[in-house]
Amino acid sequence: MSKDLVVGDQAPELSIPDQHGKTVTLKNFKGKQIVLYFYPKDDTPGCTKESCDFRDVESQILRAGGAIVGVSLDGKESHQKFIKKFGLPFPLLSDEDAAISKAYGVYKEKNMYGKKYWGIERSTFVIDPEGKLKAIFRKVKVDGHADEVLKALKA
């Protein structure tokens, strides 16, 4: 198991497909700060609220020199439906083998109604233009999260 990432670490590289099947890497965002948020599942209540909150502050994030990227274990068809349904203006990446989620330490054993399963623990990473971690939010509570992230971006 890799050590937990801390602020100041180099962000693990990613190279996974977005909702159109186009491969996305951190280099696609050269010179920008990246808000990389990991969420458990498309079109579920918490994930929908979180994604819509990010959608609603997107213009402010862009003005602060940032870009938003969502990641879940869902496939691109699921992402396309989710984006269309809620008018999400940013890419959603498909981490179907959980390799990126594992690299960021957000793929965890979870427990729901006594059933154990593996999935994404809601987490957000702010990556600076040099590719270093500027802020890390783990076990995210959705309410107010987009504003917290905006503050970290502007810091």
pLDDT at 49: 97
pLDDT at 155: 87
Which residues are tagged catalytic? 47
Q: Are strands 115-120 and 15-17 parallel, antiparallel or unpaired?
A: unpaired
pLDDT at 111: 87
Q: What is the CATH number of domain 15-154?
A: 3.40.30.10
Low-confidence ranges of the chain (pLDDT < 50): 1
